Amino acid sequence: MEAGLPARLTRDGAAPKIGIVHLGPGAFFRAFNAVYTDEAMARAGGDWGIRAVSLRSATARDELKAQGCAYTSVTLSPEGRQARVIGSVSDVLVAPEDPEAVIAAMADPDVHVVSLTITEKGYCHNPATGRMNADHPDISHDLAALDAPRSAPGFIVAALARRKDAGLRPFTVLSCDNLPSNGPLARGVVTEFARRTDADLARWIEDHGRFPATMVDRITPATTEADIDALEQAEGYRDPACVVHEPFRQWVIEDDFAGPRPAWEAAGAQIVASVEAHELMKLRCLNGTHSTLAYLGYLAGYETIAETTADADFARLCERLWADEIVPTLTPPEGEDLPAYCAALLDRYRNPAIQHRTWQIAMDGSQKLPQRILGTIRDNLAAGRVPEGLCLAVAAWMTYVGGVDEHGKAIDVRDPLADTLRAASAGADGVWDKVGALLAQREVFDAALAEDARFREAVTSAFERLQARGSRATVAEYVR
């Protein structure tokens, strides 16, 4: 090591033979999929090294390759930090630099699983309908140039076509994103894309492809320079690829694979016949309240979820949402106690060691809202209940995407529809017109919900209260 340079983590021993290609090597993948796979190989063996693929940035490749693709997973609890080196990643590719290398990697007969953590927007679908968005620029490009794709669906179809031509069985496509029925969604987008390129290929995928649904859960805030510095101070080496996360983790996987898979159950994953009830529980109880806290907490001036839930009114907001509006829409999954699950969630939110920023969770709300909140609202309305708290969450999102906070400061809104949403809000006069303009965005709100008079009135009333009184006062009024 050159004098003056900080020590870096280096891999101890050879990288494992590759059996998985993973699209989206961000923080969640490194805190979750790669950790489970590392433990599964340690406890049950197998060649399940991961070739990670970044569909956009070279950052993950540059950080990981410099240290042999090993990195540090840091568990943050109120009792302190615990670091562990993860060695399941064997290689990292950057798709825009060499699309052919990515297709070849996925078509390799030794690869049996292609997993995904590409966020909601990576599926290039319409969140309101779940269908592939044929007008998405990456989809349009890939349909015309499948030899050099840009999108995850394009890469998957290109690789599956190559496997079919080679007489190989398909790999399993394993979605690990926070989307309802993420397996069926991935299947639908991939087969619809294939149908537009090759009908025989589409039929082959439909007959032989497997797209198991999953439920994933581990709170993973963005790694900061302070986290990297703290790790260096504690362990004596510098790891820019390290990730920090809470102690809790849960992975529920539908038992529906096209071929071999790692023994993830040896690392604690639950392999089940159906994920649906677990998925809905997590999506509504955790993700729904997480987004609610993100928008209302940000508007109230809170930087993190822990800071937001330290406010007793915001903690009571979660408790009321769970008891009155979310849990009544759920069927308890086998082995789960819903009130206990929600109580544990609040403890997780309050973990002061996890600095999960409200701004980070608020990103891409147009893609998240239909899955995390609007479905719960529909179920309440169908049961004759108007979910005032969740309508307040929608109103907070509408306020947030307007781009100006309660003190007149600009909000850095990160969303695929940011410009459209801001223009819709700015171009309308008065509360009813602003709410109506945003409800007219069919990529977020389906017509039946948007035109439901009970929903429109509840959201408009909440939006009006937020404008007049601010987030803290509005939340306090709701919980008291």
Instruction: Quickly list DSSP for 303-356.
Output: -BHHHHHHSHHHHHHHHHIIIIIIGGG-PPPTT--HHHHHHHHHHHHT-TT---
Q: What is the pLDDT of residues 185-197, one digit of tens each?
A: 999 999 999 999 9
Q: Answer for the pair 253, 212: CB distance below 8 angstroms, yes or no.
A: yes
Pairing relation of β-strands 71-77 and 243-245?
Answer: parallel
Segment 356-376, tens digit of pLDDT: 999 999 999 999 999 999 999
pLDDT digits (tens, 9 = 90+) for 425-437: 999 988 999 999 9
What distance in Å separates the CA atoms of residue 229 and residue 317, rounded to the nearest whole number?
Answer: 35
Helix (H, G, I), strand (E, B) or coil at 16: coil
Other CB atoms within a 10 A radius of the CB of residue 47 amount to 15
From its phi and psi, is residue 268 left (phi > 0), alpha (psi between -120 and 50) or beta?
Answer: left
- Look at residue 330 in the predicted model and tell me its pLDDT: 97
Q: In angstroms, how far is CA 192 from the centroid of its own chain?
A: 22
Nearest to 7 by CA among 227, 231, 233, 236: 236
Nearest to 299 by CA among 398, 423, 417, 439: 398
Model confidence, pTM: 0.85
What is the rounded average pLDDT of the residues 129-134?
Answer: 92
pLDDT surpassing 90 at residue 1? no
Task: Give me the amino acid identity at 313.
Answer: D
> Worst-scoring range by mean pLDDT, 76-80, 115-119, 188-192, 290-294?
76-80
In the predicted model, is pLDDT for residue 457 greater than 50? yes
Burial class for 382, CB neighbours closer than 10 Å (0-12, 13-18, 19+): exposed
pLDDT of residue 4: 52
Q: What is the CATH number of domain 276-479?
A: 1.10.1040.10
Q: 3-state DSSP call for residue 52?
A: strand
- Please tell me whether residue 463 adopts helix, strand or coil conformation: helix
Pick the CATH number of 18-272 from 3.30.70.2610, 3.40.50.720, 3.40.30.10, 1.10.3720.10: 3.40.50.720
Q: How far apart are CA 115 and CA 22, in angstroms?
A: 5
The Cα 188–Cα 182 span in angstroms is: 10
Average pLDDT over residues 126-147: 94
Going 216 to 29 to 105 to 71, the CA torsion angle's sign is negative
Phi-psi sector, 254: left (phi>0), alpha (psi -120 to 50), beta: beta
Closest CA to 20 of 41, 42, 2, 4: 41
- Which of 310, 304, 296 is closest to 346 using CA atoms? 310
The pLDDT of residue 335: 83
Q: How many CA atoms lie within 13 A of 272 on its CB side?
A: 19
- Euclidean distance between the first and the last CA atom of the chain, given in angstroms as a whole number: 61
**5 — pLDDT class (breaks 50, 70, 90):** low
Which residue is associated with the tokens 């909140």? 373
Instruction: Write down the mean pLDDT value for the chain.
Output: 96
Token pair listed for 432: 């009813």
- State the Cα–Cα distance between residues 455 and 377, nearest whole angstrom: 8
The H-or-E segment that residue 20 falls in is strand 18-23
Report pLDDT digits (tens) over 28-48: 999 999 999 999 999 999 999
How many contiguous H segments (helices) and E segments (strands) does the chain have? 23, 11
- H or E segment to which residue 189 belongs: helix 182-195
The predicted model gives 91-106 an average pLDDT of 98
Residue ranges of the domains in the chain? 18-272, 276-479
pLDDT value, residue 2: 42
| CA distance to 186, 190, 222, 253, 344, per residue, from 336 (Å) | 27, 33, 29, 16, 12
Write out the two tokens for 186: 């991935």
Give the separation between CA 377 and CA 386, rounded to whole angstroms. 8
Higher confidence at residue 6 or residue 276? 276
* Token code pair at residue 477: 């009024």
Using pLDDT thresholds of 50, 70 and 90, give the confidence band for residue 128. confident
How many Å apart are CA 11 and CA 253, to the nearest integer?
Answer: 30
